[in-house]
Structure 1
């Protein structure tokens, strides 16, 4: 696929999360960031146990590719793990999910809302390069004494 999204297409999705109070101490803010980084590493290392550990039981994933094509929601941790397992089986390259400009927009003791840009790189064909860009919105819940991803939306600027 080679479709590309129009400039500014993601504003409709990003504006759903308005900045609010971040009522978490620095250690809890770091814990939220760490969960998102662990999510990216789990995908890149194809570590389904690690991915499972950062998701709530009822987590949902929703995607919009190139600002046009919808996928999901994939609902429930087991369904997400099956979805990722199928994607891993189809990959022939090493992918890196680089989360950049990560910001917690609002948070309290039980819920956090965050944005991050995605720069997806690959080493396919003997070289490395960017294969996709986009943005995430995450809703996390404090679950069982830990932060976990409850809802994930990924909007990509291009399809690959």
Structure 2
């Protein structure tokens, strides 16, 4: 079975955390964006130390594939790192997590919510292509002198 999503299937996930005011200076907004980019690069470079640095200790990670198959939540930074290590060990290609259309949906001095689209590409066997699309919802907290991902939800439009 190869699940695929109906148009607009993710809308209910995107609206569960309603938009709010973004009460942050541009430099703080950029700092949040950088955490998201560091997250994506850490996955692509299989850099678990970097991934660890962008997650809160009690972070949660949940997924749904085409609105049909749920995974997680994986709870706690250590559990997330184990989960990612297992996924990395199974990969035989170079993946790129392209985060596009990143938008802050609400932020204050201590918390932020961001949405982003995912375009997951793969380069294997001399060819490259898009293997999945989807969206993220990130909830970040100010912790340890910077921003960290406290909750991550990934909804993919297709299985791969």
Any idea what SS the aligned residue of 2:137 has?
A: strand
Q: How does 1:100-115 map to 2 (within 5 A)?
A: 100-115=100-115
Deviation digits for residues 57-116 of structure 1, max 9, x if unmatched?
000000001210000000000000000000000000000000000000100000000000
CA RMSD in angstroms comes to 0.7
User: How far did residue 18 of structure 1 move?
Assistant: 2.1
User: How far did residue 2 of structure 1 move?
Assistant: 2.2
Normalised by the size of structure 1, how large is the TM-score? 0.98
Count of residues in Structure 1 that have an aligned counterpart in Structure 2? 160
- Give the match for residue 77 of structure 2: 77
User: How far did residue 39 of structure 1 move?
Assistant: 0.1
- Give the match for residue 67 of structure 1: 67
Normalised by the size of structure 2, how large is the TM-score? 0.98
Q: Which runs of 4+ in 1 moved over 3 A?
A: none
Q: How does 1:15-26 map to 2 (within 5 A)?
A: 15-26=15-26
**Structure 1: gaps spanning 5 or more residues:** none
Q: How does 1:1-160 map to 2 (within 5 A)?
A: 2-160=2-160
- Partner Cα separation in structure 2 for residue 79 and residue 39 of structure 1: 16
